[in-house]
Every structure is written in C-alpha cells, then in structure tokens.
Amino acid sequence: MEKRIFLTGDLHGDVSDARLGKRLFPEGETLSKDDFLVVLGDFGVFWHNPPTPEERRCLNVLSAMPWTTLFVDGNHENFDLLDALPSEERWGGPVGVAAKGVYHLRRGYVYDVAGFYCFAFGGGRSVDKSVRTPGVDWWERENPSREERERGIEFLEKRGWNVDLVWTHVAPSRACDKLLEEHYAFAHTGRRMEHDPLSDYLDGLAEKLSFKLWSFAHYHVSARPFPAGSSGLFSAEYETFREVATAVLSERAPVGISTEESENS
C-alpha cells in the first residue's frame, strides 16, 4: 500500500478531537505510522519552559495517533525548546525528535518522504512581536539565519533545483500577491498581510525551483492549489486536511484561487 501524506496548518497546540478528530479528518482513522500528517508551522506544542502538563499531554496524544506527525516551525514557537530537541537522521536529513512519531523538519533540508522529495523551510515574522516578551513568548529565531538561507540554496542546487513538494510556514511573495488579489478573505474584506522579508527569500527560490506543489499556512485561510507565476502550484492550508497525492496528481490546474468549503477564517 502506498504511503499517504496529508497537510494542515497552524495547530497552535490544539490536538483536540475538534481539530484532529474524524469530523475534520476522517481519513486519520485509516492511517498507519507509515503515513504522515505535516503541520506547516505554528505547531505550538512547544511554548513554556519547562513544558506544562498540558503540553506534555498534547505530545503524548500526537505520539499515540495512528500516523507519523512531521512539522516545520512557524513564528509562534519556543525556539529554545525546538533547538534543544535531540537530533536524528530520518528521510535523508536531520530532524528534531519531539516524541515518538513526532518530528521537527529543520530549515533548508530536502527530505525523501513517501517517495516525494520535500524541501522544508520554516520560520516567519510575528506581526505582534511588539507586545511580546523576548525569550518568554517571542524569539528572534523565528527569523531564519544566514546559515539556514544559504543551506536552503545549497540543498536545492544539489537537487538541480527540482523537488516534488515544498513545505513552508509563510508564502513566497508571488503567492502572497495572488491571495491578496483573489482570495475573498483579503480581496473583499479589506484584510491585509504584513510584509515578511522571508517571503522575498522564498520568492527567489520559487523563481528558479521546479516543483509540483508548494504548501504554506500562517495566514489562517485555506485555498486549493493555484498557479502564481512558477513552475508548480501553491496551496494555503489552515483547518483542512489536504492529501498530497490528490493535489499533485490532479490533471487540471485551476486558473484562479478556490477556497475550501470547510474553511474557517
């Protein structure tokens, strides 16, 4: 049986039945540890130091799920805790071991997950950092370092600028622009995005990179795969669960942005 990958966004530490249960994610009950749920940043289970009993319980809940959980970091994470996770080599690159069956994908590496070459690059700027306290509920490490940016370019060059999937928290600028123009949550409500310099870095990658599907979260909207001036499609993820094979193998690329019926933005 082929391994399956599902994508979602921004758990913010919520592993309740309302978020991960069968109402939103009925496929979860059919999965095994050979299958994957990928959280595209703002994982949110690592926040307090030391972790609270509730945070420990959340990790135990995720570890007991039938699938394997992978996550890239977002901007709302405790990076002191993430950076201190024990490291292992899995899927062709280093991962942080959060718990059995729960792994942090490091920035700038290409992983081989379920037969797909997957480029991971977390991080993003918190627009509310002015009301947060450094080292308590905000960390400068939300912004990728020069070393991580150079690593991303190095590993993509090794792949000949060709991967299957890209997993980030924020979107490259071209996908942000498309969302602003066409997604109802922005185009028809006056809601805006704050510019994030990381989007410019990712846009430089998108300019050169050949990929099938680039998925991101962060904006608390969902949108089915859409084109935005690159070789592949982009998708915005929030409280939906998108199966990668279905999105990647679709023969008809959409001409504009379609939102998910179940979206809660």
CB atoms closer than 10 angstroms to residue 90? 16
- How many angstroms from the chain centroid is the CA of residue 72? 5
Residue 262 lies in a domain: no
- Residue span of the structural domain in which 69 resides: 5-248
Residue 265 lies in a domain: no
Give the global pTM.
0.94
Tokens 């008809």 correspond to what residue? 252
Residue 159 lies in a domain: yes
Instruction: Identify the pLDDT of residue 135.
Output: 77
Instruction: Identify the pLDDT of residue 265.
Output: 32
Are residues 248 and 213 in contact, defined by beta-carbon separation less than 8 angstroms? yes
Q: How far apart are CA 258 and CA 82, in angstroms?
A: 34
Residue 256 lies in a domain: no
For residue 186, the domain's CATH number is 3.60.21.10
Closest CA to 72 of 115, 51, 42: 42
- Tell me how many domains the chain contains: 1
Instruction: Identify the pLDDT of residue 138.
Output: 83
Element (H, E) at 206: helix 197-208
Helix (H, G, I), strand (E, B) or coil at 63: helix
pLDDT digit string, tens, across residues 58-102: 999 999 999 999 999 999 999 999 999 999 999 999 999 999 999
Helix (H, G, I), strand (E, B) or coil at 215: strand
Percent of the chain with pLDDT over 70: 95
Instruction: Identify the pLDDT of residue 250.
Output: 67
Q: How far apart are CA 73 and CA 61, in angstroms?
A: 19
pLDDT digit string, tens, across residues 107-141: 999 999 999 999 999 999 988 887 898 878 788 99
pLDDT digit string, tens, across residues 210-228: 999 999 999 999 999 999 9
Q: How far apart are CA 25 and CA 19, in angstroms?
A: 8
Residue 259 lies in a domain: no
Residue 261 lies in a domain: no
- Cβ neighbors of 140 (< 8 A, separation 6 or more) are 134
Residue 183 lies in a domain: yes
Residues pairing with 162 in the sheet? 210
Q: How confident is the model at residue 254 (pLDDT cuts 50, 70, 90)?
A: low
Element (H, E) at 109: strand 109-113
Are residues 214 and 207 in contact, defined by beta-carbon separation less than 8 angstroms? no
Residues pairing with 68 in the sheet? 36
Closest CA to 162 of 107, 229, 116, 113: 116
Residue 114 lies in a domain: yes
Q: How far apart are CA 69 and CA 101, in angstroms?
A: 6
Strands 109-113 and 102-105: unpaired
